[in-house]
Amino acid sequence: MTSEPQEREIRHGPVRLSRDRGVAIVSMEDGPAKNALDENMVEGLERAFAAIGTASDINAVVLRGLPEVFCSGASRSLLGALLAGDVNVSELGLPRLLLCCPVPVVAAIRGNAVGGGFALGLAADVMILSERARYGLNFMDLGLTPGMGATWLARERLGDFVGDELLYSTEYRRGRDLRSAPGVNHVVSSDRVEPLALDIARRIAEKPRNALILLKRNQTEPRLRAFDKARENEMRMHRDRLASQDTARLIARNFLE
């Protein structure tokens, strides 16, 4: 994604934060790890959104990944830390960064998005998918019940029955197959995903910041309550599954490198 003119850039590990005409562009750029949600990626996203939260000149955000992969979900190391009890499942509320961002977030999901990576995109205010990219919620393949608010996010954005089917079956679908989903804003060709996201964000950024903050808060409050309730239920399920002996076996067998 190009920006004209481009303002200063800040890198937080694998996450690059740039600014353009009142729009913050948050880019996940860990190619070797396929933008997996490891400790560095999570910290980078947290730091980027913290900076956005205190920036008075930012009125909208674009969250993007790499051309072929938006985010591949939890890393093997993170899953291992969960099994070992080194990470509290309550810490895996990453979509809350988008929900609590004071200004609207546009997710440009050009590449494949898997598990928690797809859940992250589902939390955006505006979501743009690529016709050819693959999207899935593979928690159950790993012996885990869904997390990161996916039990609610999938239903809200994809519809109750389609969302549930993807959670149960772990089926991957092309963006073109999700075109009619109630919470998908746009499904376009791969090369149009990021230009469209930036165009929408720029139009949002033209509006008065105080009005945007008020509207975002109004629109998000019920979503945030539903998300937090889903997370509470998910944590109860997680505690049961993490104690199960077959979870480590399924992670070893089905984790996608």
Amino acid at 6: Q
Strand 173-174: give its sheet, edge to edge.
Answer: 69-71, 112-114, 134-136, 173-174
Catalytic residue among 238, 242, 247, 251: 238
Determine if the peptide bond prior to 32 is cis (ω within 30°): no
Q: Is 238 a catalytic residue?
A: yes
How far is it between the farthest Cα atoms of the chain?
Answer: 54
- The answer to whether 220 and 95 have CB atoms below 8 angstroms apart is no
Q: Find the helix or strand (DSSP H, E) in which 248 lies.
A: helix 246-254
The dihedrals phi and psi of 147, each to the nearest 5 degrees, come to -135, -170
CA distances from 142 to 110, 124, 158, 246 (A): 25, 25, 22, 9
CA distances from 183 to 83, 153, 179, 214 (A): 33, 10, 9, 22
Q: Environment class of residue 207 by beta-carbon count within 10 Å: exposed (0-12), middle (13-18) or buried (19+)?
A: middle
Count Cα atoms within 13 angstroms, Cβ side, for 135. 33
Show Cβ contacts of residue 209 under 8 Å, excluding neighbours closer than 6 positions. 56, 59, 103
- The answer to whether 174 and 134 have CB atoms below 8 angstroms apart is yes
Catalytic amino acids? 238
